[in-house]
Structure 1
Amino acid sequence: MILELDIGNSRIKWRTLAAQGQAVARGSCSRKEVSDGRMPWGDPLSAPGLRRIRVSNVAGPEIAADLDRWARDALGIAPEYARATGCGAGVTSGYREPAKLGVDRWLALLAAWHELSRACVVADAGTAVTVDVLDGSGVHQGGYIVPGLTLMLNALLSGTSGVRLSAGPVATLAAGTCTSDAVLRGGTAMTIALIERTRSGLELPLVLTGGDADLLAPWLAEPTLLRPELVLDGLGLALP
């Protein structure tokens, strides 16, 4: 059995894989749970046979140390951390310094190329929104990083007294007739505009992942492939 972790800036996604590669359990949790020593994937690991832990971590060394300690004490194994490299799994990095590309972006590119083997746009809509382009040879053409929807809205509202956002997905992108609608629809429209501008005129498929992917997907042009576990899918390619 293999435990795979996608440690993001806000939350952690996890899943366990059987020997044949199929997922047998999955979930998500806050980073604080792990920092406090509460590992929500503990029960699925009660069965014998866990042999590896594969990790994508963009949250820094402190949470990695917490995970290392737990893995050593509870399981007697050391987690394996993916790293962005110059090339791998058919993909060539477009960064001048490949190691400085976020590992989550790198893994998403690997997984998208593995599935499509063609030029595409890869967008991860999380705490930050990243939008990257792969050409038809698997060469990364670079990308964009902007604040995620929640981060963008919170930054705006922190200086706007009395504004409260209504919960739930955006039902329309029409101009808002109250401040909360104007803010939420405006932030959503800006994020969509970046993604669509990136593939404008290229007729490329979009591979979409991240916590806000479900909110954005209805407003994006086809073909849009929703892949909630894209970063996790890349772990097996980076750490076979």
Structure 2
Amino acid sequence: MTEETTPGADAGEQAPHRGIKSYVVRSGRMTLAQRRGLEEVFPRLGLTLEQGRLDLEVLFGRRAPCVVEIGFGMGGSLLEQAQNNPETDFIGIEVHPPGVGKLLDDVDKAGLSNVRVYREDALRVLDDCLPGESIDTLQLFFPDPWPKKRHHKRRILQPAFIERVRRVLVPGGRFHMATDWQPYAEYMVETMNEAPGFETLAQDSDYVPRPDFRPLTKFETRGERLGHGVWDLIYRRCD
């Protein structure tokens, strides 16, 4: 999903991008629909780093709430949200070509105009493309937990990443995370509670019930049958 970079680049200034990646780009065959999404739809609905800092009102042709999802996988959840919330604009960020292609193909066939997609490293998008205080919600659903201790440094949720999220969220904006791995959920709580500028929306525990607006994935449905848990966390920018 992301590659560690130096935060705080000014608009129009490229920050140096290097460090530890929190994702692995997997190769594999693509279907005709996925290839169509990349080759035919991406030129219309895709975004690139070279476009620089976005003007969201110009990009979507309106002033509307904007949701960014990092690591949308095959795009099913993001597609459903966009269909159910036509009054909201959505930007998806994903590095895996089949997922990008599938989402774009599905979005185009559904005739949606409220979705744009980056096939880029999320940290570079946060640093170089998203204006400060422009995003209403940032979603991070089921990121790689990197369970082995020696790989914890690869986890996307690190203090520098959280500060990037805080920068792009509007005051009162929400950072919504979900994971199906309890040790990572506990790590998320610990890390977020130490981060300045955020407060949890959880009341009776560290977690919130799955909101109705987050679609239940096939993966979760199968996991529930097997007795697996899923933990949702929602924090609000409070500074």
Same fold (TM over 0.5): no
- 1 or 2 for the larger relative contact order (CA 8 Å, sep ≥6)? 2
- Compute the TM-score of the two structures, normalised by the length of structure 2: 0.30
